[in-house]
Structure formats: structure tokens, C-alpha cells
Amino acid sequence: MKEQVSDHYGRSRRLIDQIADDLKAAGIDPKKLRAADFEPIDEFHFRGRQATLELLEKLELAPDANVLDIGSGLGGVTRTIAEEASAKVTGIDLTQEFCDAAKTISDWVGLSEKTMFVQGDATKLSFSDGSFDGAVTVHVAMNIPDKLAVYKEAHRVLKPGARFGIYDILQGEGGDVVYPTPWAMDASISYLATPKEMASLLQDAGFKILDEEDSTAESYEWLKARISKPKSGRTMPVTTQILFGDIANDMIQNQLLALDERRLLTYRFICTA
């Protein structure tokens, strides 16, 4: 299962080489970009950087906090938190290729001192108990059947009382999701929990839920606006579409419909360990 998930996101050509070549072709020197400029490619979730900033605000981190980003992908969430909260952030992700690309982007934008990326499995973290002052996970659990293991691990590696912010895609009341989607070509690697199931899982893992927010309507409006924006007006010519090629448009249309019909929900939970 984990190999299937990693294969789904992995690719034949080195992703970071492709990103670098596409930037070069557009006359852009990646070393002259700021972390936030990478949003269309490295904040790989509904509502992009704005959603990360909202999540970060709820974490109430002290400066120099040690933070974990579970399922960090290309590292957009990791870098936004590192930069905006002056935190030291570790990203872990199952897909080695994403960890490598995340590290290079951090080098390009001068955040390699504040961010690090480790290949690993969210259900079996390699960190000691009580290592982190805060943790987040953004759009990751939809590929993981054993979500309780993820949340138990998050609870274990957090200091008592530290906050955990979860922003994820959940199963809505509107019916089954139509595939392909960005996280799965078909239902075989897709495991969506309902909001009620998520709340129980988090509590069973030992967390106390402080806040819960349904942002599905905002995600729908964000996606609609994103696809209607002309590509020529963008600072960053490379988007998450680079990961999926021609099928990306079908994925976007399926998600748009699913958000509109509340088959898919976007939800945020804020908890304390």
C-alpha cells in the first residue's frame, strides 16, 4: 500500500530538475524567488498558503519552536511555518523524491537552516517522545488507512499540551468521490474519513479537540478562481499540474464537482496533546 502511494506521487524524471528547467525556460532564476513565490507548486492543498497561515495562527507557537510537518510533500507548509513563525520545522514524507525537491527549494530560498526534510512513514515516526512544540498535517490522511496510528504517533512525539493542527480532505454527505483525484487514480488507495470519524480518531489517540472548521465552500470558490486565472498573469509558471500531466484537468473537474456536491469536505481540527 505504501509503495502504491509513493508510486502515485513519484515519477520517472527527477521532479526538481523538471521544475528548474521550466523556471529557466520562463527566464526565472529560482535563487531569486521568495518562499511564497512557490505557492502554486509547493502548497499542495486547497486554499494554498492562506490555509497554511490560518492553521499556523491557531497553533500559537512561541518563537524558535520546534515543529513537525507530517506528510510535507514539496515543503510549502514547512517553509511557510518556518518563515512566518521563526520556527525550526522538520518535514517528513513517504515520497523520497518530494523530500529531495523540498530540500532544494529550501536551499534556493535561503531556508535550509530552518527546515529539514526526512523520508519516513507517518504511521511510524522516527522521532523520540515529546520532541516537538507543535505539529501539523495537511492533506495527507486521505492516503492512509491506519489513521489512528498517525494520530497516536503525532501525540507521542509532541510535548504534553502542544498543539496539533490537522487540515484534511474528508468524506462528505453528498456521496462517493469520482476519480481520478490528485491523491488517487481510483478508490484503491483512497481512505476518506467523515468529520465524525476524524473527531473520534483524534480523541482515541489522546488529543483534546479545541476547534473544528468546515471550509468546503471556501475551497470550492478558491478552486474555481484558480482555474479561471490566466496562466500568463502568474509569477510562478510551474503548478502542481506538473505532477500529473494531461490527467490534471480531469482531477480538477472531479474535485470541483465533489466540493460543490459535498462529496468532499475540507476540514480543520485544532487539538492539544
Ligand X SMILES: C[S@@+](CC[C@H](N)C(=O)[O-])C[C@H]1O[C@@H](n2cnc3c(N)ncnc32)[C@H](O)[C@@H]1O
Query: Which residues contribute to the site for ligand X (CB under 6 A)?
Result: 2, 5, 9, 43-45, 71-73, 76-77, 93-95, 98, 121-123, 138-140, 143-144, 182-183
DSSP 89-142: EEEEES-HHHHHHHHHHHHHTT-TTTEEEEE-BTTB--SPTT-EEEEEEES-GG
CB of 161 to ligand X, least distance (A): 24
CA-derived radius of gyration, the chain: 17
Q: Which is nearer to ligand X, 66 or 123 (CB)?
A: 123
What's the rounded Cα separation, in Å, for the pair 205 and 20? 41
Q: Which is nearer to ligand X, 83 or 121 (CB)?
A: 121
Which 8-state DSSP code applies to residue 181?
B
CB of 35 to ligand X, least distance (A): 13
Q: Which is nearer to ligand X, 105 or 230 (CB)?
A: 105
The residues with which 191 forms a beta bridge, in sequence order, are none
CB of 119 to ligand X, least distance (A): 9
The residue behind cell 467523515 is 194
Chain residue at closest Cβ approach to ligand X: 73
Which helix (H) or strand (E) is 168 found in, with range?
A: strand 158-171
Q: Which is nearer to ligand X, 61 or 154 (CB)?
A: 154
CB of 27 to ligand X, least distance (A): 26
